[in-house]
Chains A and B, each alone.
Chain A
Amino acid sequence: MKKSKSSFTWRRITESKLFFPFLALAFILLFDLVFIPNFFAVQTREGNLYGSVIDIMRNASTVMLLAIGMTLVIATGGVDLSVGAIMAIAASVAAVMMNPVIIGVELPPDLMKFINDPSFTYSPLWEVILVTLIVAIICGLWNGVLVAYVRIQPMVATLILMIAGRGIAQLITNGVRIQIFYGPYAFLGQGWIVLPFSLYIVAIVFAIAWILTRKTAIGLFLESVGINFRSSFYSGIDEKKIKLLAYAFCGLCAGIAGLVASSNIKTSDANNIGLTLELDAILAVVIGGTLLGAGGRFSLLASIIGAMVIQAITTSMYALGVPAFALQAIKGVVVIFVILLYSEQVRGFVRRISAPREV
């Protein structure tokens, strides 16, 4: 029977972790197709692509970066609330390294005059990026040590850095919002090579995370520790190291997101960079089907789609003319919708309608 064969594959699709995130994204895009004219129009300028869809992806890139790291942390049964604050720290470190004058460092007079020059930076770009990312990893390690070795609940442990982080960021810049003039740095968040440059960064981070979790045993160990850390311990898995790695990687992702975000707005705005983005990142992972609190099975791609879903909602609402202050309320409605969609009842319903008909 032809029907039964097709419904078998249909069933495999609905059981996949990617099914619901894609369904949610499709819903939103369908909505846009109907209600927003020219939503899918893409223009070409100087060989680069522009349009609402591209915008969605570009604006989602910071949340995508955060979601990649957050997925690993949530897979271990934890959560990281500090990623927004780590973004702010990263932005401050990068800004100070490029433009230390503002915090009272005396430059030699011959350099002083270049300070507003887009081609001037105090430290070379590679050094800026390297040091920033090392600082971000240290932030992640701090979280990891608190969770894995000191055994503080993840939510409380990462809350410490969430609260303290923005203060630390302010301390680094001496309370000043540093403007960033350096051109190549701005390329991270604003550059285009056919597609926005930040998307290539996401692609590279995603590839690294994917290889790390799917081509080594780390992915299996992350899932195993999340599902049952005692069994994992008895099986010889060093659950502490695995957790430490997840938080450190999450910190690294937040650092990269901080670079992209600060390059996008050309300042180190310690108060606003990454503000509440930790919640968007968590939501992205939850939409991606990784269980918050329980951990276990995860899909990086599903989390990426989850981040796109969130951004698609935001962009669509702006395109419709919904004011920014009402946006949070709409997001709330969407969260309810997502949670309903993921409920056992709806899953059971989908399973029933996609189940083979013959018995």
Chain B
Amino acid sequence: MPEFYNYIIEMEGIHKSFPGVQALENVDFNLKKGEIHALVGENGAGKSTLIKALTGVEKQDEGTINLEGKEINVKSPQHAQRMGISTVYQEINLCPNLTVAENILIGWEPRKWGRVDWKTMNARAKEILQGLDVDIDVTQTLGSYSVAIQQMAAIARALEISNARILILDEPTSSLDAHETQQLFGVMRKLKSEGMAIVFITHFIDQVYEVADRITVVRNGKLVGSYDTATLPRLELIAKMIGRSLTEYDDMTKIKLESSKHIKGEALLESKGLSNEGGIEPFDLELHSGEVVGFAGLLGSGRTEIAGLLFGIEKPDSGTLTVAGKEVKNFSPLASITRGIGLCPEDRKAAGVVDDLTVRENIILAMQANRGWFKYLSTQQQYEIANKFIELLNISTPSADQPVKNLSGGNQQKVILARWLATNPQVLILDEPTRGIDVGAKAEIQKLVLSLAEEGKACVFISSELEEVIRCSHRIAVLSNRKKVAEYSGEVDEKVIMQSMAGSGS
């Protein structure tokens, strides 16, 4: 490689696995001096694991990291900082009730006679911030400034305490408005011109094209590739992020075609102008029994919000929801279960499994909630139900009495599916049911969704992987920017869908 010495960081063949999940598989990542390098991929793709390996938060199982051509072994975040690798995390890890100067220099205060030299400290902090083109009163508390300024202070601190040569910005713009974002970009460009290597993690495609020189895409723990921003069209980037392979259209297509004949005409669930403030703009949607409707859209496009509204996690501000001909008045998960709606939530750990409970208890939980406090399923009934679904869904567990936390991600997901199937729902909403689980389990779940539809249930299938959505769904609703922008049925070309996903910007 002729430009070998240009790379300040070279990560090669990084592997990392967590119990049940292969988080990173043979990922390479290179970073040049004086470039802004965007690291993109959907949630759970492995971006943060890769960064954690680089910053010493997690040790990679295999693979090497070179800093300026020399192999390094990053032991801890502190160690990484000493080598000049600094990170500014998504949530700002500063103290809002301390002054800006204190926040920037805490732990590194200039001292005089053993006491903090406030004058020098404030002057130094001001100087550092001016270097970032920010001119503010550093003796005010940090909390009195906007999030953008706080972000700058965090960057200033990262630069100052470690004499950083590599700056990692993890979703720095997620809580900034357009003007603040521009301010941040200005700083990033300035640092770049001074030779700083910047890793920029973001979900916003527009921003990638605005500041990044190069783009590295990861998906499912694997490297998709690194590209020059100028040579990679937007549409292609989205395609790479959400994955597709035009080759394999297996028997799933046949099942889908066969099952599409059974779709009922009248709507089982109908939403008219349903919306909630800050969640999703008014949308119309119909679900028919026997049908799988896919939601395509990037993270934050509103797909999870729709699921939350339909299931009653959130209450709508306007619009009506009709289930089986009756208008819904009472929005709550319990009322939804009684109506025959189920939701496999997106965040399996936080909202799905109850990890200390056994597989059996996890499976009967929603069913029991629907029966109420006093119609308790006998232990024998519980075992019967649990064992039925363990067999049906092929859940690999030593027994129904195993705490669910001891199961792998895929099997935990199946337990959640079993929990909902046990309630015998008419409408089943699956939000990212295949995230973070292995390929085999993925295919099983996809087939299961289609067979559920064949039994006459209506399913909503939400996934970041477009290929998967297309493969499983009879009809696809496309979401972008908290709006439902399009709906397609029958055979659809991925390109068309991506076009709608990308919105007006493409």
Q: Interface residues, chain A, CB within 8 Å of chain B?
A: 215-218, 220-221, 223-224, 227-228, 230-238, 296-297
**In the bound complex, CA of A236 to CA of B334 (Å):** 4
Chain A residues within an 8 Å CB radius of B375: 217
Q: How far is A296 from B354 in the complex, measured between Cα atoms in Å? A: 10
Known: A237-B365, A237-B369. A232 touches B376 (CB 8 A): no
- A230-B351, A234-B343, A234-B352 known; A217 vs B366 contact (CB < 8 Å): no
Name A217's contact: one of B351, B354, B356, B373 (CB within 8 Å).
Answer: B373
A231 in contact with B352 given A216-B376, A223-B357 (CB within 8 Å): yes
Q: How far is the CB of A75 from chain B (nearest CB, A)?
A: 11
Contact B356 A235 (CB under 8 A): no
User: Does B270 touch A at the CB level, under 8 Å?
Assistant: no
8 Å CB contact of B350 from A217, A220, A221, A230: A230
Please indicate the chain B residues that have their CB under 8 angstroms from the CB of A233 in the complex.
313, 333, 351
Task: Give min CB distance, B7 to chain A, whole Å.
Answer: 43
Q: How far is the CB of B389 from chain A (nearest CB, A)?
A: 15
Known contacts A217-B368, A224-B365; decide if A232 and B354 are in contact (CB<8 Å).
yes
> A227: which B residues are within 8 A, CB to CB?
354-357
A77 to chain B, nearest CB (A): 12
Q: Is B386 positioned at the interface, with any CB of A under 8 Å from its CB?
A: no
A53–B419 alpha-carbon span in the complex (Å): 48
Are A220 and B334 in touch, CB under 8 angstroms? no
A221 to B373, Cβ gap below 8 A?
Answer: yes
Q: Which residues of B contact A221 (CB under 8 A)?
A: 368-369, 373
B454 within 8 A of A: no
Kindly state the separation between the CA atoms of A230 and B348 in the bound complex, as whole angstroms: 11
In the complex the two chains form, is B356's CB within 8 Å of A216's CB?
A: no
Of all chain A residues, which has the CB nearest B365?
A235
Find out whether the CB atom of A236 lies under 8 angstroms from the CB atom of B350. no
5 A-B interface contacts by CB (under 8 A): A215-B376, A223-B356, A224-B365, A234-B352, A238-B334
| Chain A nearest Cβ from B342, distance in angstroms | 9
Q: A233-B333, A236-B370, A238-B334 are in contact. Are A228 and B353 (CB under 8 A)?
A: yes
- Which among B368, B370, B374 has the greatest number of chain A C-beta atoms within 10 A? B368
| Inter-chain contact total with CB atoms closer than 8 Å | 74
- Shortest beta-carbon distance from A214 to chain B in Å: 9
Which residues of chain B come closer than 8 Å to A224, judged between CB atoms? 354, 357, 361, 365
**Which A-B residue pairs are the 4 nearest by beta carbons?**
A236-B369, A236-B334, A236-B337, A235-B366
Check A220 against B356 for contact (C-beta < 8 Å): no
Q: A217-B372, A221-B373 are in contact. Are A234 and B333 (CB under 8 A)?
A: yes
Q: Are A296 and B356 in contact (CB under 8 A)?
A: yes
CB distance from B346 to the nearest CB of A (A): 10
B118 to chain A, nearest CB (A): 36
| Structural contact, A217 and B374, CB atoms closer than 8 A | yes
User: Which B residue sits closest to A229, measured CB to CB?
Assistant: B354
A216 touches B355 (CB 8 A): no
User: What CA separation (Å) do A215 and B376 show in the bound complex?
Assistant: 7
Residue of A nearest to B419 (CB): A235
Question: Which chain B residues border A231 with CB–CB below 8 Å?
Answer: 350-354
Chain B 298-323 interface 0/1 with A at a Cβ cutoff of 8 Å (1 = within):
00000000000000010000000000
Given contacts A216-B374, A224-B357, contact A234 B334 (CB under 8 A): no
17 more A-B residue pairs beyond the given contacts A221-B368, A234-B343, with a C-beta to C-beta distance below 8 A: A217-B368, A221-B373, A223-B354, A223-B356, A223-B357, A231-B353, A233-B313, A233-B333, A234-B313, A234-B351, A234-B352, A235-B333, A235-B365, A236-B333, A236-B337, A236-B370, A238-B369
Given known contacts A224-B357, A228-B353, A296-B356, is B345 in contact with A234 (CB within 8 Å)?
yes
Closest residue of chain A to B308, judged by CB? A234
Are B373 and A218 touching (Cβ within 8 A)?
A: yes
> Measured between C-beta atoms, what is the minimum distance from A243 to chain B in Å?
13
